[in-house]
Amino acid sequence: MNPFPFQRIAIFGPGLLGGSLALACHARHPEVRVRVWGRREAAVRALADAALAELASTDVAAVAEGAELVILCVPVERMAALAAQMAEHLPEQAVVTDVGSVKAMVHEQVASALRGRAHFVGSHPMAGSEQTGFESARADLFEGATCLVTPDPEPPDPSLYEAQVARVAQFWCALGCHVTQLTPAAHDAAVGWISHLPHLLAAALVNTVAERAPDALAFCGPGFRDTTRVAAGPPEMWTGIFTQNRAALRDSTEAMIEKLRDFATLLDGIDESGVRQRLTAAKLVRDRLHKH
C-alpha cells in the first residue's frame, strides 16, 4: 500500500466524492485525522453519525484549522468563495486541491482567493456518477480510477511547488488511483470531449425523445438507459461545469453536429457502405476502450 503523505486532511463538501474520500481515508488509513465541512446541518450530522471524521461541522474556520491538505468537493463556481473564507485559518505551506471537472478557471480564482497562504494543485478523479449525496458514497470509489492532477504552469516557487504536486499525486495513488498530470488548459480541452460532451449529448437525447416521441419512453430498454444514464446528474452542478468550460464544450459540440450531419447525409443517400464504415470505425475504438 502506498504511504500516506498527509496526516491532517480537511474535506469541504460531504457529497458523493467528499463522502467517498472520507470513507476511503478511514478504510485505508485510519490513522489520518480527517475533518469535514458541510453547508447543511443534516449533511454534517450524517458524517458525525458515521464516525468518519474527528470533526464534522458547518464552521469553515474550525475545519480548516491545522489542515495539511484541503480538498474542495463543492461545485466549481463555489470554490473560490470557500477558499477565501478559509485562507487565513490555514497553516503556512498547506496544500489545497479539489475534485472539480473544470480546471483553468478554478486555478485562477482559487489561487487568487488563497492570497499566498497555501499552494493550490488541481485534481480531477474520474470517478463520479449520476448519483449524489453522502448516502451514495463508497470507500472503493477511487480504486482503479484515473486522477488528472493539474499543476499551475507558472508557480511562484517552482521547487517547493513541485514537491507539493508530488504529495498530491501520492495522496491519490494511496487511495488507489492512477495519476496523470496535465496543464489546466489541456485538462479542460480533454474533458470537454470525454466528459462534458457525453453529458450534453445524453441530455439532448432525452429532451429530443421527450419532446418528439414521449410515448416511446415507455418502451425504453437498456440501450437507451445506458446511453442517457449521465443525464440524471445534478443540473445545478452541470450548469456550472458547462458554463465554466463553455469554449471547449462549444468546440466539441460543433464537431459532434458535423458528425450527425454526416450520418444524415449517408441516410439520405441510402449509403449502406458509408454507414457500415463509420459504425465499424466506432466499434474498433470502443472495443479498445473496453480492453483498458
Q: Residues 37-88: pLDDT tens digits?
A: 998 888 788 777 788 889 999 999 999 999 999 999 999 999 999 999 999 9
Residue 33 CB contacts under 8 Å (≥ 6 apart), including other chains: 7, 8, 9, 54
| Residue 135 confidence (pLDDT) above 90 | no
What pLDDT score was predicted for residue 51? 82
What rounded mean pLDDT belongs to the chain? 93
pLDDT tens per residue, range 90-128: 998 899 999 999 999 999 999 999 988 899 999 999 987
Task: Give the predicted TM-score (pTM) of the model.
Answer: 0.90
Torsion of CA 218, 222, 227, 232, to 10 degrees: 60
Nearest-angstrom CA–CA distance, 58 and 241: 25
Contacts 24+ apart (CB under 8 A), 82-88: 82/12, 83/109, 83/110, 83/113, 83/114, 83/120, 84/113, 84/114, 84/115, 85/60, 85/61, 86/12, 86/60, 86/61, 87/113, 87/114, 87/115, 87/117, 87/118, 88/117
